[in-house]
Copies of this chain bind each other. A is one copy, B any other.
Amino acid sequence: MGESAKPQPTLELVAARAGVSRATVSRVVNGSTKVSAEVNEQVNKAIAELKYVPNRAARSLANGRTNSIALVIPENAAKFFSDPYFATVIQGAAMYLADTEFTLTLLIATEADPAKTGRYLRGGNVDGALILSHHSDDRSYVELAGSLPMVFGGRPMSNESGELHVVDVDNVAAATTATRTILESGRSRVATIAGPQNMGAGQDRLQGWREALEPVGLATDLIEYGDFTPPGGEAAMISLLERGVDIDGIFIASAQMAFGALKILHERGIRVPEDISITTVDNDSYAQSASPPLTTIEQPAERQGAMMAQLLVTLIAGGQVPERTIINTVLIKRGSH
């Protein structure tokens, strides 16, 4: 008959201690305004004394909300997680949600069972989802957008439906700006190391480079591709050099690739920016620590993540959000151009 130690105190216990009904305790817990100040105080006192914490499962079952949000990440996560840009987006979303009632559930979209994630999302386990997939095979998520509030980070490749909400930077404009910065220092033979063409960011940055060169009558034939990583940048740089063309500028689609490219350039005694002017995207530690430090386009990744979370919360609450939200980028001039 004595009180046992471990089990969490329940609403019922709080109610008994405060001398009110469970309904009233529930109202206090949920911040209902229709509770008298006096009762409100009693109940809060009991809650504090008992260290009562509401049971999520019960609450969820009763009101049909889960208070949890999925963060979907492509399995190809080795690359993904170690990319400071994505890591920072996640951080921004997580920190924003830490101040809300929502909890973030990490979902790895595994290739072994591709339907698993969809099942989970559709299974009523979350109130909404943040999608960071960027590959061409993101169709399944795009289709889910009809039945579950979702916000995409970066534009998905397969956007037929239109009824999507995405938070993105204007990658085309960013690349154009970065490329023009090279032109301003008087260069005229400008190459690019582009990102993967099965990602929106990869496509758009290549496009932006073109849009800077074409209007001024410069050639757009010097293109190599990398996977956004340092080794990818190294390989692309080598290929570029092997062409035997006189290059005096390169727009490189990510700082990590620029970093790899720089290494090759150093090894061959090619000077930056004297011989080749370089600009890139991402203001991460690669851009900052490179020699010379890289002139780059900063993407406010943390803000992007927070924005994604904020929009999703709005969506879940039944609010309206724009289909496309653009996060402004800023050009950071350093020594590489």
**Which residues of A approach B to under 8 Å, CB–CB?**
6, 8, 51, 53-58, 60-61, 66, 68, 71, 73, 75, 77-78, 80-82, 84, 87-88, 90-91, 94-95, 98-99, 103-108, 110, 112, 116, 119-120, 122-125, 147, 229-231, 234, 256, 259-260, 263, 266-267, 284-285, 288-289, 291, 302
Contact = CB atoms under 8 A, between A and B. Distances in A.
B61 A58 contact: yes
A143 to B, nearest CB: 14
Given A108-B98, A123-B53, A284 B61 contact: no
B108 A105 contact: no
Nearest to A61: B57
A243 to B, nearest CB: 23
A95 B123 contact: no
Contacts of A95: 75, 77, 108, 110
Most chain B beta-carbon contacts within 10 A, residue among A124, A229, A231: A124
Contact of A106 (B53, B77, B106, B231): B106
Contacts of A259: 289
Contact of A105 (B68, B266, B289, B291): B68
Copies in the complex: 2
B285 A256 contact: yes
B106 A71 contact: yes
A106 B123 contact: no
A98 B165 CA distance: 27
Nearest to A71: B106
B289 A266 contact: no
Contacts of A302: 78
Contacts of A6: 147
Contacts of A107: 98, 103
A267 to B, nearest CB: 7
Nearest to A230: B289
Contacts of A94: 73, 77, 106, 108
Given A87-B82, A147-B6, A230 B105 contact: no
A328 to B, nearest CB: 20
B288 A231 contact: yes
Contacts of A124: 8, 53, 55-56
A48 to B, nearest CB: 12
Tell me which of A80, A108, A266 has the highest count of chain B C-beta atoms within 10 A of its own C-beta.
Answer: A108
